[in-house]
Each structure stands twice: as structure tokens, then as C-alpha cells.
């Protein structure tokens, strides 16, 4: 009989997924910051790159709480989302719509993270992993703040710039 998979295994697997994703995001954000035309958008990407380093460190502590070594597992979703962002950078380079495209790509990344962290926090709660709940919640809050800040930028400067052209 096949071994029954447990919620603990699912939690560990999903932790590997988001660990891979955060590391991928860490390499993508500086490129997006470099590509951004708006100073505010660049600053938002740079700020979140710093926070993302902290997200990786928190995940390493969560791995510790379940007695596993930090390890990533290829996350096709984030690879695809980041590839789309890179396509935007190429296709809209030097155009007024570039920042709006970069911003949209960044929000897709944040929404993916919000989804993952929300799920992981719920599972950590069910598994009684108190420290993990706290750490995952701290990151979740920063992802939500970043998403909100990007929305604000989208509604003000960046999209206006795209429209004025
Ligand atoms: Fe993150
Ligand atoms: Fe993020």
C-alpha cells in the first residue's frame, strides 16, 4: 500500500517551492529596478529586494523548525511569471509603457507569494508550528504591503506616464 502523504510533507514540499521562488525573485528584482524608468518604481523594487533577502532568511528558520535543511524545488509558476516580466523588458524597452508592464509583472509575483504564504501560514497553524506561523505571517504582511504600494504607483505616476505618451 502506498505510503500516505501527510500535511507535514505537503508543508515541507510547499516550503521548498516558495524557497526556490524567493531566490529566483532575489535575482530578478535588481534587473527590474535597473530597467525601471520611474525613480519611484525603481525605489520600490530596491526596497523589496532588501525585504526579499529577509524572506529567504525567515524561510531558512522555518526549515529549521521542522528539522530540515533549506532546500529549493523548481517552481514552474514563478519561473513563468518572471519570464513574462523579462519579455516585457525586452519588448517594451525604451517605450512609455515599460514601467506599467514591469509593475504588472511585479504584482503577479507578489500575488503568487501572497497565495503561497497564506496557505503555508494556515498549514503551520494546523501543524502547531508556532514559530513558523509568526515568521510566515511577517513575510505575508510585507508581500501585501508591497502589493498595495505597487497598486498606488500603478494608479498614479506609472500609468499616467504610459497614457500621456
Ligand atoms: Fe518574498
Ligand atoms: Fe515579494
When pLDDT is cut at 50, 70 and 90, the band that residue 133 belongs to is very high
Q: Which ligand is nearest to the CA of 146?
A: 2
Model confidence at 149: pLDDT above 80:
yes
The b/e string for 39-77 (b: 16+ C-beta within 10 A; e otherwise) is eebbebbebbbeebeebbebbeebbeeeeeebebeebee
Residue 155 C-alpha to ligand 2 middle, in angstroms?
19
Tens of pLDDT, residue by residue over 29-86, are 999 999 999 999 999 999 999 999 999 999 999 999 999 999 999 999 999 999 999 9
Ligand 1 mean position, distance from CA 52 (Å): 5
How many A from CA of 151 to the centre of ligand 2?
14
Q: How confident is the model at residue 141 (pLDDT cuts 50, 70, 90)?
A: very high
> Around ion ligand 1, which residues have CB less than 5 A away?
52, 55, 113
Neighbours of ion ligand 2 (CB under 5 A): 113, 143
In this structure, which ligand is nearest to the CA of 59?
A: 1
- Per-residue pLDDT averaged across 135-162, rounded? 90
pTM score above 0.85: yes
In Å, what is the CA distance from 23 to each residue of 19, 20, 33, 132, 155? 6, 5, 16, 19, 29
pLDDT band at 160 (very low <50, low <70, confident <90, very high): low
- pLDDT tens for residues 87-129? 999 999 999 899 999 999 999 999 999 999 999 999 999 999 9
What is the CA(30)–ligand 1 centre distance, in A?
A: 14
Q: Which position has the grid cell 514601467?
A: 99
Confidence band (pLDDT; 50, 70, 90) for 158? low
Closest CA to 155 of 76, 147, 64: 147
| pLDDT range class, residue 2, cuts 50, 70, 90 | low
Amino acid at each position: 500500500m502506498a505510503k500516505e502523504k501527510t500535511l507535514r510533507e505537503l508543508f515541507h514540499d510547499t516550503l521548498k517551492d516558495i524557497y526556490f521562488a524567493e531566490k529566483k525573485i532575489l535575482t530578478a528584482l535588481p534587473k527590474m529596478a535597473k530597467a525601471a524608468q520611474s525613480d519611484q518604481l525603481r525605489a520600490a523594487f530596491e526596497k523589496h529586494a532588501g525585504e526579499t533577502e529577509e524572506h529567504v532568511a525567515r524561510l531558512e528558520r522555518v526549515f529549521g523548525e521542522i528539522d530540515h535543511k533549506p532546500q529549493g524545488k523548481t517552481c514552474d509558476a514563478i519561473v513563468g511569471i518572471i519570464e513574462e516580466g523579462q519579455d516585457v523588458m525586452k519588448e517594451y524597452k525604451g517605450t512609455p509603457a515599460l514601467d506599467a508592464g514591469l509593475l504588472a509583472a511585479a504584482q503577479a509575483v507578489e500575488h503568487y507569494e501572497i497565495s503561497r504564504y497564506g496557505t503555508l501560514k494556515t498549514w503551520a497553524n494546523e501543524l502547531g508550528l508556532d514559530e513558523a506561523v509568526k515568521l510566515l505571517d511577517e513575510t505575508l504582511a510585507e508581500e501585501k504591503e508591497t502589493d498595495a504600494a505597487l497598486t498606488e504607483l500603478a494608479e498614479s505616476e506609472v500609468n499616467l506616464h504610459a497614457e500621456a505618451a
